[in-house]
Amino acid sequence: MPILRRRRPAHPPPQIDGPSTSSAAPDDKEKPSLPIARKPRWNCLDSCCWIIGCVCSLWWILLFLYNAMPASFPQYVTEAITGPLPDPPGVKLRKEGLSALHPVVFVPGIVTGGLELWEGHQCADGLFRKRLWGGTFGEVYKRPLCWVEHMSLDNETGLDPPGVRVRPVTGLVAADYFAPGYFVWAVLIANLARIGYEEKTMYMAAYDWRLSFQNTEVRDQTLSRIKSNIELMVETNGGKKVVVIPHSMGVLYFLHFMKWVEAPAPMGGGGGSDWCQKHIKAVMNIGGPFLGVPKAVTGLFSAEAKDVAVARAIAPGVLDSDFLGLQTLRHVMRMTRTWDSTMSMIPKGGDTIWGGLDWSPEECYSCISKRKRSNDSIVSQDVKVENANHQPNITNYGRIISFGKDVAEAPSAQIEMIDFRDAVKGNNLAHSNGSCGDVWTEYHEVGWGGVQAVSDYKAYTAGSILDLLRFVAPKMMQRGSAHFSYGIADNLDDPKYKHYKYWSNPLETK
């Protein structure tokens, strides 16, 4: 055996083309070939992850830039595009030398004041003193049925249901914003602050807008608190009287307050007949529904509103059907029919104010969408003659509810109306419609016979809608009749008009 062995070269010598021979050394065995690295394939999941990563990165970058930029940068960009912005009203008044003088009292309207939870059922754990109404409305999406349960009042008393206490938010924050980005009083408060007003000279008369006006005093003593705060503001501001600014339903609420504060106890506040004269400088009403609003009728009758009509157009049948067990409109109706305050806005004065089947106060009014200006082009004589011969269709707004467009437009002589007041309501709808078996509304007591009787009457005016609501929702109207009135006084000296149910109706109070 040889002592020395020949080392294998680092690189094998190049092979010469030709036939292979079997004289290869025994240790020159073929090595196994290494696997070839392949380029990974791009799939749909990778694309989605890449897009999500880009979006998240872009979002964080924009968020960082937004927080890093100066607060005046948006205004700078706006002024660079549109020019200098006009001064806010408060700045203009301050430049004119105006300053705070009379204390100001705000009275919010329906649904604009915040409500918070003080006591609730097990489903509302963790919501103590958190807003159920106003703010982000987050609980509506997280636990909708629990939210409806706590926002509803007792159907018999119109007060809190057992085990639930929802109370109004206090202070200026109660109604400054309805929701993020949707201000109510915030802009007015900010402008008054620019001329020297502050919290001691501004007061938000927050109240539970779900309750009837007198029940706000029964449960929360809200009317007494408003009286005490106004007296305190007058006393601490050198005897200067307050200026009151009510909005929407707050106009009716403050009208009720002014009657209550001068009425003798125990029904009233016992302030005397000259209390308003001593403490109130002026009342500036904003959008007051003194005579009611027709849309309150549709809301009480079927929970319909403009937003519901829009939702029906987008998703027909979803709101009416038992879609995913939501039963949306039935839950809304169940909740809103316990809010007695809504009945304060039912149209008042009957057919005398709102019109009948054949007439309405608006029948001679022509709505002109464009005012004629001096530089408008002259219309030719032929067009004038054509327009003179054309008679526009007159809409009869006296028919507040009409079943069918043909009924709304037909003369009253052509409408065959069958009285519904003594109709037999028939079998319970809850047994024939399984989708509403677990959502209580007063329609459970109206059978198919009652539904047919309501539709056979065809057209309802302000004088007959009260009977309609008493027919379909007797418990609700029983509570409402104890707190509100909708007629016209024959003799204001009649002692019956001293009752609080007449105080919010300007047609039945002095």
The answer to whether 455 and 471 have CB atoms below 8 angstroms apart is no
Q: What is the rounded CA–CA span in Å between residue 31 and residue 254? A: 99
Q: What is the rounded CA–CA span in Å between residue 424 and residue 459? A: 19
The answer to whether 167 and 209 have CB atoms below 8 angstroms apart is no
372: phi then psi, degrees, rounded to nearest 5: -75, 130
Is residue 97 included in any domain, yes or no?
yes
Same domain, 98 and 182: yes
Same domain, 195 and 305: no
Q: What is the rounded CA–CA span in Å between residue 36 and residue 135? A: 62
Q: What is the pLDDT of residue 383?
A: 42
Same domain, 347 and 432: yes
Q: What is the rounded CA–CA span in Å between residue 141 and residue 54? A: 29
Is residue 341 included in any domain, yes or no?
yes
Is residue 468 included in any domain, yes or no?
yes
Residue type for 246, please?
P
Q: Which of 261, 283, 305 is the last residue of a domain?
A: 283
Closest Cα to residue 210, out of 267, 253, 171, 175? 253
Look up the CATH number of the domain holding residue 266.
Answer: 3.40.50.1820
Domain containing residue 450: 295-364+395-487
Same domain, 322 and 422: yes
List, for residues 98-156, the tens digit of each pLDDT value: 999 999 999 999 989 999 999 999 999 999 999 999 887 877 778 888 998 999 999 89
Which tokens sit at 287? 């959008």
Q: What is the rounded CA–CA span in Å between residue 500 and residue 268? A: 8
Same domain, 203 and 341: no
The residues, any chain, with a CB within 8 Å of residue 400's CB and separated by 6 or more, are 294, 297, 347, 354, 460, 461, 462, 465
Same domain, 477 and 435: yes
309: phi then psi, degrees, rounded to nearest 5: -65, -40
Q: What is the pLDDT of residue 439?
A: 44
Is residue 54 included in any domain, yes or no?
no
Q: What is the pLDDT of residue 32?
A: 55
Is residue 152 included in any domain, yes or no?
no
Q: What is the DSSP string of 189-236?
A: HHHHHTTT--TTTEEE----TTS-HHHHHHHH-HHHHHHHHHHHHHHH
Q: What is the pLDDT of residue 426?
A: 62
Q: What is the pLDDT of residue 414?
A: 83
Q: What is the pLDDT of residue 365?
A: 60
Same domain, 440 and 326: yes
Tally of structural domains, the chain: 2
Q: What is the rounded CA–CA span in Å between residue 309 and residue 264? A: 46
Is residue 442 included in any domain, yes or no?
yes
Q: What is the pLDDT of residue 12?
A: 55
How many H-runs (helices) and E-runs (strands) does the chain carry?
20, 11
Same domain, 212 and 323: no
Q: What is the pLDDT of residue 375?
A: 43
Q: What is the pLDDT of residue 84?
A: 77
Is residue 386 included in any domain, yes or no?
no
Q: Which of 229, 261, 283 is the last residue of a domain?
A: 283
Same domain, 256 and 299: no
Same domain, 185 and 249: yes
Check residue 358 and report its DSSP letter.
Answer: S
Same domain, 411 and 271: no
Is residue 301 included in any domain, yes or no?
yes
Q: Which residues, given as ranges, of the chain have pLDDT below 70?
A: 1-42, 71-72, 75, 307-327, 364-395, 424-445
Q: For the chain, how big is the Rg over CA atoms in Å?
A: 36
Same domain, 201 and 312: no
Q: What is the pLDDT of residue 377?
A: 43
Q: What is the rounded CA–CA span in Å between residue 468 and residue 297? A: 10
The residues, any chain, with a CB within 8 Å of residue 421's CB and separated by 6 or more, are 467, 471
- The helix (H) or strand (E) run that includes residue 168 is strand 165-168
Q: What is the rounded CA–CA span in Å between residue 319 and residue 327? A: 7
Q: Which of 283, 315, 348 is the last residue of a domain?
A: 283
Which tokens sit at 500? 């609080």
